[in-house]
Amino acid sequence: MIDHECFPVEPWQLRESSLGLAQLAQTESLFALSNGHIGLRGNLDEGEPHGIPGTYLGGLHEVRPLPYAEAGYGYPESGQSVVSITNGKLIRLLVDDEPLDVRYGDLRHHERVLDLRAGTLTRDLEWTSPAGKAVRVRTVRLVSFTHRSIAAISYEVEALADDTRIVLQSELVANEEQPPPSDDPRVSAALTNPLVAVSSDQDDAGAILLHRTKGTGLLIGAGMDHLFELPDSAVLEQDVRDDWARTTIAVTLQAGERLRVVKLLAYGWSGSRTEPAIRDQVSAALTSARAQGWDGLVQQQREALDAFWAGADVYLEGDPVLQQAVRFGLFHVLQSGARAERRAIAAKGLTGPGYDGHAFWDTEGFVLPVLTLTVPHAARDALLWRHSILDKARERAKVLGLQGAAFPWRTIAGDECSAYWPAGTAAFHVNADIAYAVERYRAATADEAFDRDIGIELLVETARLWRSLGHHDRHGTWHIDGVTGPDEYSALADDNVFTNLMAARNLRAAAAACMRHPHRAEDLGVDPEELEAWRDAAASVAIPYAEDLQVHSQAAGFTRYREFDTRGASFPLFLTVPYGLLYASQVCKQADLLLALHWCGESFTAEDKARNVDYYERRTVRDSSLSATTQAVMCAEVGHLELAHAYAHEAALIDLRDLQDNGANGLHMASLAGAWSALVEGFGGMRENDGRLSFDPALPSGITRLQFHLRWRGALLHTDITHERASFTADDGDLTLLLGGEEVLLPSGSTHTIALTPRTALLPPPPQPPGRAPAAPER
């Protein structure tokens, strides 16, 4: 667990007031900087000590074998893993020949601050060497939102007493030693020293190194340049080898004298471009950054974030812990996709090697709803990445004997990388999740060109998958059998409600897109018979319901399974309980039926929702980080506002408190995005209905005011909610909203206010499985 006593609760920054060596890996994730293209873990500048050193480029990966005890038809043969590439963060400091190492000497002060408005990581320390020489070091690090290929570090050293000999070594280092990625020696061999030197170049102030990945053959360029503020007596040297480059500065500082170096970093990679092209790209990026200078880069970073927060900020009164956490989450969600530009947004973003750097349905299900309504261009780019791997998805469908496209459960470059069918390929709902993200983007942006050129093709090919995967029984009901829904403790089920409803939505959306764009539909080979088949399947889809319990069965037969007693259990259950027992029990790893209530709410009555929440809350153990968000939203909707507040805290604090004890490998982007959903969709009651936004707000007792902003079809909506009323203001365009079921036209610049009445729950707050109740919100 993160020792949060050294992390004060502050609304616009994450500040670590003292250095915890035992938690370095976790804080490296928390302090990671990224723009979606470049990712720098929050390692100490001098590189050691460290938890997991990491520098990543979006989409760059290596292949590795997938081990199987028994082979099977359709199993993928190789996986993909993110690799840590050339590290440019390293700046080593020697004080009278002794290296600055926080484990030795006297660390008198150490503070790091992640500034969520400036987009910078600042580090201040005072250190006395074992020989008694004292220095103050201040570093500021950023990964630029405006210069996609650029990161920069300002490094300043001051001698505190006596004349002090200083040697500063600024480095690029490839093939850093990493923690073992796997117990399988074949996997370790593939990912150990994955970069092969290609060429190097240097000048008086920097260097460029080119490498290729061993297996995938991807070409990587990494370059550094420097801007100096040095005493005249300083001596500079350059040295370049295959796997490292070093700029060395040697100088004697008098007491109170300082030196400052601004280190500029540039990265690029390609699977098709030539060595000169990549080298020149990196060189050009460095030249552009040098022209901007440090002050220019910092100013542009602040301006980019000012624009982001103007349309994305969430403001709370009454809960400062959640206030800090939701802004922290929004900042990292922005970092995950701002400049990803048609590369996958991984489940961990670019904050660590967790999940091998793979993207899952988390992206479309949890991250894109936030980006669509705050940074729509980033959501568009993420969907363009899905479109770019469409041919691979078509080939995968053919292998599986299906039509259309079967998108991978987990991947970096489009190939299926899941080695376990029940919790991988069988989770076909990823296809409907992508289609749902396409529809939400279209509704929020009215992007006609995207709908015509990209969206319709994604909708058609995913619809074709469902038509071939499902079937009609002799009574005319349409079924989808042998699939895994969001709950991975209920695998290979028949008629999973979430999957069936999402597939039906996908089919209807594809048919509607073809009606909007008949010429494109013709180009894609869609004929009237196929359209009618889609509509018929959607209209007759099976939705299991347990009449005796008056709840929906998560999948056919689920409510007759044995109950699972969690008393005395260790969590997560999959580490201590055989999957065979989990699959045959009424125990849910994560919200599944509740997610159907959330995303397909129009298919359920208010009474349905209340009874289903009551039933499944008692059976959901939240062994997945994806669960708390959905439970927060649905508990809020049915009136369990205090329980929803606790779930919102869990989603928001998953990494700040390391609640699942795995934050060392990177942050949980879906849960961080889900904190926004818990507030905006849960307490704000926001839903999208037929291309319009609707709101039904209600606040828990611990939040006295909630304000949030979002973008809808070019306009900016500001909300202001208290327990008594809710106000909605339109900027930059007119908006039509549904407020309390009433259609309201909101001209640009106007405000509409509605009175709120306390929300009444139909049923008492339900208990959770023993040992799995969410913690009360922190105060």
User: Model confidence over 290-304: pLDDT tens digits?
Assistant: 999 999 999 999 999
Q: Where are the beta strands (DSSP E) in 26-185?
A: 33-34, 38-40, 55-57, 61-65, 78-82, 91-95, 98-99, 106-115, 120-128, 134-143, 150-159, 164-173
Taking residues 645-672, what's their average pLDDT?
96
Catalytic, out of 28, 416, 439, 488: 488
Look at residue 189 and tell me whether its pLDDT is greater than 60. no
379-409 pLDDT per residue, tens: 999 999 999 999 999 999 999 999 999 999 9
* Amino acid present at 768: Q
Look at residue 183 and tell me whether its pLDDT is greater than 90. no
Question: Which of 118, 145, 30 is closest to 672 using CA atoms?
Answer: 30
Taking residues 307-323, what's their average pLDDT?
98
SS3 424: coil
Look at residue 116 and tell me whether its pLDDT is greater than 70. yes
Rounded-to-integer distance, Cα 702 and Cα 645, Å:
8
Look at residue 77 and tell me whether its pLDDT is greater than 90. no
Look at residue 355 and tell me whether its pLDDT is greater than 80. yes
Residues 6 or more apart whose CB falls under 8 angstroms from that of 296 comprise none
Q: What is the pLDDT of residue 497?
A: 98
48 is catalytic: no
Rounded-to-integer distance, Cα 603 and Cα 625, Å:
26
Q: How confident is the model at residue 338 (pLDDT cuts 50, 70, 90)?
A: very high
Rounded-to-integer distance, Cα 416 and Cα 425, Å:
8
Helices (H), 618-698: 627-637, 641-652, 669-677
Q: What is the pLDDT of residue 2?
A: 64
Taking residues 608-616, what's their average pLDDT?
98
What is the value of pTM for the model shown?
0.97
Instruction: Using the CB atoms, write b or e for 707-727: b if 16+ within 10 Å.
Output: bbbbbbbebbbbbbbbbeebe
